[in-house]
Amino acid sequence: MSKDKDKDAQGFSTRAIHFGYDPASHHGALNPPVYLNATYTFESIAQGQQRFSGEAPGYVYARVGNPTQSVLEKRLASLEGGEAAVAVASGIGAITALLWSFLESGDEIVADKTLYGCTFAFMEHGLSRFGIKVHFVDLTETDALAGAVTPQTRFVFFETPTNPNMRVINIREVAKVAHAHGARVIVDNTYGTPYLQRPLECGADFVVHSMTKYLSGHGDLIAGAIIGPADDMVTVRTVGLKDMTGAVLSAFDSFLLLRGIKTLELRMGRHCESALVLARQIESHPQVEKVYYPGLPSHPQYDLACKQMKAFGGMIALELQGGYEAGVRFMDAVQVAQRAVSLGDAETLVQHPASMTHNNYTEEERLAHGISLGLARISVGLENVEDLSADILNALDQSVG
């Protein structure tokens, strides 16, 4: 462990490839072995009792932890600059395990007005059934936060950039206001990834991820993570994960994530470069009404994005002049890009948020939360940018009715 602490000073990819694993302790195996165990043996009943009570270290049962998963958790904590991490079975599993660990009936949350559809459904329609109130405000206006926080506010929750409309929220400013009112800050860093931004270093208390996306990078698994203070992560593991959600990540998916994370820096570099090229081309296309990409000077939070993010990510949203019908024609016309939800894969993906990822908002909620019917979303993949550009520009030409 002390060896790993020294490694904190190493670069992002060096840590993404090595941190938290010592081959010498595993027969020299270059990659962490996949421990396919549901349960673990004890040398004596006394030893088992000590492990269960937390007096002695060691594994007891794989719903609580697994050695392959532990390597992944150490690596995630290092990359996000946090004390500890808990890996779980999905992004929604991460958000629910964290919140179920700490919330009580009567508590309140302030959340940004734009959230991934199932996160919104959990907060608006799920938590409200258990006496927890969620206030949705526009967190790009920090003043709105001060007006929504009450003595009952336990958490402030947001994505940045937001899914799907790419609003960028000032993590430092929100953390300042939240902390002044005794609330803790959770940032969903799925779009950003720890390579582009590290919310904990900007004052956030917790980071959550859908690791299904860029961290996996290959569209072959569903996973999530929570990163934060070590004592809180013990609570999340023993309450939110073990008892309240059971959302355990498999050892094999932990292995695949360790494999994917090794190339996160390389992949993000390519995603960001290609997305910036495409965003500029899309913005100057005559059929396009509006492009939402934080790397364009026309983006309302461009200056903030330049300061808060290392680059601007691989996600673009756009609205066409012909509205919804034109958007559908555009998405139906792509040939290299694939029509699918999810994001962060090698393949470029296009989808229609209003009817797909954000369809659990009612129409009124969707409009109130700033997600238009005509919005189309692109997750820019790793294909050659010339091919993507030809495909997207051709599809934009085809969007004319």
Contacts with ligand 4LM by CB under 6 A lie at 90-92, 116, 118-119, 159, 163, 188, 190, 210, 212, 222, 224, 341-343, 357
Close Cβ partners of 347 (under 8 Å, ≥ 6 residues apart): 219, 337, 338, 340, 381, 383
Report, in Å, the least distance between residue 46 CB and ligand 4LM: 40
Q: How far is the CB of 356 from ligand 4LM (least distance, A)?
A: 7
Choose, from 7, 63, 133, 154, the residue flagged as catalytic. 63
**CB-nearer residue toward ligand 4LM: 190 or 287:** 190
Taking the C-alpha atoms of residue 37 and residue 34, their distance in angstroms, rounded to an integer, is 9
Q: Which amino acid is at 221?
A: L
In the set 74, 113, 116, 232, the catalytic residue is 116
Q: At closest approach, how far in Å is the CB of 288 from ligand 4LM?
A: 22
Which of 107, 188, 345, 391 is flagged as catalytic?
A: 188
By the 10 Å C-beta count (0-12 exposed, 13-18 middle, 19+ buried), 145 is classed as: buried
CB nearer to ligand 4LM: pick between 67 and 313: 313
**Shortest distance in whole angstroms from residue 106 CB to ligand 4LM:** 26
d(CA 395, CA 305): 29
Cβ-based nearer residue to ligand 4LM, 84 or 207: 207
345: annotated active-site residue: no
Which residue number, 140 or 287, has a Cβ lying nearer to ligand 4LM? Answer: 140
The CB-based long-range contact list for 205-209 (8 Å cut-off, 24+ gap) reads 205/175, 205/229, 205/232, 206/98, 206/232, 207/80, 207/82, 208/91, 208/94, 208/95, 208/98, 209/76, 209/91, 209/94
CB atoms within 10 A of CB 29: 11
213 counts as catalytic: yes
How many angstroms separate the CA atoms of 270 and 76, rounded? 21
Instruction: Give CA–CA dist 242/239, Å, rounded.
Output: 6
- Which residue number has the CB closest to ligand 4LM? 91
* Catalytic choice (74, 198, 213, 270): 213
> Is 307 one of the annotated active-site residues of the chain?
no
**212 vs 348, which CB is nearer to ligand 4LM?**
212
220 catalytic residue (yes or no)? no
Catalytic residues, which ones? 63, 116, 188, 213
